[in-house]
Chain A
Amino acid sequence: MGWLQRRRARARRRRIAEGTSAGDAWTPALGSGPWRVWYAECCDALLAFDRVVAALPPGPVRDGVHGHRPSLVALLDTARRTAELGAFLDPDGPGRSPALVAALAADPLGDLTGSLGPSPTLPLRDRVLLVRAELAGIADAAARIGLRLHEHPHATDVGTWLSGLGAGVDQAHRAAWLPVTYRAAGEDQ
């Protein structure tokens, strides 16, 4: 890899890091279809987590909860990659296009729509929705920690709460793992 490619790869990584750390639903541009909506909901879950962290009183609990944020940004990056792939392969979502269904149904010798299988991009939709559910669950767990801390300011089992949150983050990472073989061209493997 030459210096020009390395420089482009660095610039691309920097752009991706800036985009994902901000949690902006409009970056990257995913069109106006369902992929953008699902990715935006993932961003909403991360923003909900940020609101919970901002509402926590300063201290070790807040630092402990905030320490999981880089993992959540990585999860959001997984959702971004999956949504980008889905929007590239099927811009209108995993459903069959109405023009195709109408064309096959209008066959003079019989309806051909039964010969089509399910849309191949359904697994991508399931993966984005899984990441969305995991992010929302982690934001809920963080909110529960904040509520408990508010009700019991002198609780001694805060470490248990935080380890439970960490286990949830680990489980989300395992569920939403994406192999490195299919990173976008130009990025480091």
Chain B
Amino acid sequence: MTPRHLLEVAEEAHARYWRALHTLVPMSPAHRRLLAGAPRLLAALERAERLAALVPTAPAHVTAGRSRRDPSRRLTGRQRRSVRDRHLHNLGLALLRLERAADAAVAVAVAAALATTARGDVDSVVDDELAALSAALDELR
């Protein structure tokens, strides 16, 4: 799986978020909330693009198990990984967060479309999904 493939998946998640946004009634509370979260999603996508650009040129060798500044200190398991692996891991995490945000947006759209009870309960169901969306957008910071 190359960084280009990872970026394509991230762009698909971004597109899903916008599709979910377009299914909502314009200027409804859910629509406004999704619209407010869109710049954060775009920023996460740009960060993923920067990481994907760094991966091919990053050194792939595994560093020594000791710190260069202080040889008596052992590095953590993550620090012992190569820089390329760490960039790839960060790219995977960015992709996961984007996917979660897109899932939360789709869940808002689905909850709004499928709530089968009275009007007040419809709002409460959508509110629950909006709270989940806020949590997913907070992860993107």
A interface residues, Cβ below 8 angstroms from B:
81-82, 85, 88-90, 97, 99-100, 102-104, 106-109, 112, 115-117, 119-121, 123-124, 127, 177-179, 181-182, 185
Contact = CB atoms under 8 A, between A and B. Distances in A.
B92 A123 contact: no
A85 B122 contact: no
A153 to B, nearest CB: 42
A35 B11 CA distance: 23
Given A85-B113, A123-B114, A104 B92 contact: yes
Contacts of A106: 1, 92
Interface residues of B toward A: which range?
35 or more
B25 A181 contact: yes
Label chain B's interface by main secondary structure.
Answer: helix
Contact of A124 (B92, B99, B114): B114
Contacts, number: 98
Given A120-B106, A121-B110, A123-B114, A109 B85 contact: yes
B25 A182 contact: yes
30 contacts: A85-B23, A85-B110, A88-B23, A89-B19, A89-B20, A89-B110, A99-B12, A100-B12, A102-B1, A103-B5, A103-B9, A103-B95, A104-B95, A106-B1, A107-B89, A109-B81, A109-B89, A112-B93, A112-B96, A115-B96, A120-B107, A121-B106, A123-B111, A123-B114, A124-B110, A178-B113, A179-B113, A181-B119, A182-B25, A185-B25
Given A99-B5, A103-B1, A181-B122, A123 B110 contact: yes
B115 interface: yes
Interface of B: 1, 5-6, 8-9, 12, 16, 19-20, 23, 25-26, 78, 81, 85-86, 88-89, 92-93, 95-96, 99-100, 103-104, 106-107, 109-116, 119, 122
A100 B86 CA distance: 19
A90 B16 CA distance: 8
A14 B83 CA distance: 60
Contacts of A123: 110-111, 114
B116 A177 contact: yes
Contacts of A103: 1, 5-6, 9, 92, 95
Nearest to A89: B106
Contacts of B92: 103-104, 106-107, 112
